[in-house]
Amino acid sequence: MTISAVWTIADIFNGLMAIPNLIALLLLSGTVTKMVKDYFKEASSFGEESELKIITKKPIVAENQELVINPRARSAKLRIATRN
Query: In the structure, what pLDDT confidence band is assigned to residue 71 with cuts at 50, 70 and 90?
Result: very high
Q: The domain containing residue 52 runs over which residues?
A: 3-83
Q: What is the pTM of this model?
A: 0.50
Instruction: Report the pLDDT value the prediction gives residue 43, as an integer from 0 to 100.
Output: 80
Cβ-defined contacts of 55-60 (< 8 Å, 24+): 55/80, 55/81, 55/82, 56/80
Could you report the per-residue pLDDT of 26-53, keeping only the tens digit for each? 899 889 889 988 888 888 776 666 778 8
- Give the residue-averaged pLDDT of 1-29: 91
How many domains would you assign to the chain?
A: 1
